[in-house]
Amino acid sequence: MPHNIIIYDSGIGGLSIAREIRRTVPDARLSYACDNAFFPYGDKEQTWLKERITTYVQNIVHTTSVDALVVACNTASTLALAHLREIYDFPIIGVVPAIKPAAEQSATQDIIVLATPNTSETPYLHDLITRYAPRAHVHLIAHPELADVAERFFWDDTIDDAIITDVCARIRTYAHADTIVLACTHYIFLQKTLQQKLRKTYNWIDSCSAVARQTARALQGVEGTANEQHNTCFVSKPLKNPAHLARMKEYGFTHVHTIE
């Protein structure tokens, strides 16, 4: 029986991972959980946010069957992944900044990490840097509005050029950097825009493929359960714009259901 995988994020960032999971685990049944009423997670108070993540996941689990949960948000993963694994016995896969592959691929050992403010402050990220990039110069850039820019760009194809220009100016201050880690799944949707503005070739590193492979490994030996709600997008704030509903259908999520 096919596995039911829930992919969870505060907004649209996790759709980049959903796309990769569809390629890697083609027989799986996917649903998407989008806590859009509280987007973005990257600037929320951390204790409150951990409680919110726990509550929203609980609401989803009580609504639909789950064989695996993918926490497709760097901020949520660094804050709440261990806690969620203590509560549930199904596989829970997180997404963390791809520091190790960045260090392996950087010729100059000069690396930029684009992250949310919350992710940039977590001990988890700094432990990854110490463990996997001890000899590299790692520069953190945490713009509080960049995830919002990605969200608006996805939904409405509009871009905030002032913020993109500001982020690119910060990147350019690190002249020897050759590698950029996209440590927020939202930023993947801005990679092309940033690359065009920077006019310099970088290694762009994200965690999508690694998360998809880990999801496939985690499901080995797990028995699938029946689920009539697959291809559903669960949201905490209703999607009313027909264009937004159409965008979700482009990613295979044909039904939308509100869970607060």
**How do the pLDDT tens digits run along the chain, 260 residues long?**
789 999 999 999 999 999 999 999 998 999 999 999 999 998 899 999 999 999 999 999 999 889 999 999 999 998 999 999 999 999 999 999 999 999 999 999 999 999 999 899 889 899 999 999 999 999 999 999 999 999 999 999 999 999 999 999 999 999 999 999 999 999 999 999 999 999 999 999 999 999 999 999 999 988 888 666 678 999 999 988 899 999 999 999 998 989 88
- Exactly one of 34, 168, 184, 233 is catalytic; which is it? 184
Q: Are residues 179 and 128 in the same domain?
A: yes
Phi/psi at 202 (5° precision): -125, 160
**Residue 134's closest CA among 164, 168, 99?**
99
**Looking at residue 229, what is its pLDDT?**
64
Contact at 8 Å (CB) between 53 and 76? yes
Contact at 8 Å (CB) between 90 and 67? yes
Q: For residues 138 and 126, what is the distance between their CA atoms, to the nearest angstrom?
A: 10
**Residue 248's closest CA among 42, 43, 15, 73?**
15
Q: Are residues 17 and 38 in the same domain?
A: yes
Q: Print burial letters for 121-130: b (CB count within 10 Å at least 16), e (below 16).
A: bbebbeebbe
Q: Are residues 152 and 247 in the same domain?
A: no
Q: Are residues 65 and 155 in the same domain?
A: no
Q: Are residues 83 and 110 in the same domain?
A: no
pTM of the model: 0.92
Q: Are residues 157 and 106 in the same domain?
A: yes
* Residue 184's CATH number: 3.40.50.1860
If one counts every other C-beta atom within 10 angstroms of the C-beta of residue 106, the result is: 24
Q: For residues 49 and 41, what is the distance between their CA atoms, to the nearest angstrom?
A: 7
Q: For residues 133 and 155, what is the distance between their CA atoms, to the nearest angstrom?
A: 36
Instruction: Establish whether 184 is a catalytic residue.
Output: yes
Q: Are residues 103 and 189 in the same domain?
A: yes
Mean pLDDT rounded to a whole number for the chain: 94
- Exactly one of 34, 73, 208, 233 is catalytic; which is it? 73
* Tally of domains in the chain: 2
Contact at 8 Å (CB) between 132 and 199? no
Q: Are residues 111 and 194 in the same domain?
A: yes
**Across the chain, how many H-helices and E-strands are there?**
11, 10
Q: Are residues 74 and 33 in the same domain?
A: yes
List the domain range (segments joined by +) for residue 29: 4-96+209-258
| Encoded tokens for 185 | 């799944």
Give, for 4, the enclosing helix (H) or strand (E). strand 4-9
Contact at 8 Å (CB) between 207 and 98? yes
**Residue 198's closest CA among 219, 220, 175, 216?**
175
If one counts every other C-beta atom within 10 angstroms of the C-beta of residue 234, the result is: 23
Q: For residues 81 and 246, what is the distance between their CA atoms, to the nearest angstrom?
A: 31
Q: Are residues 227 and 153 in the same domain?
A: no
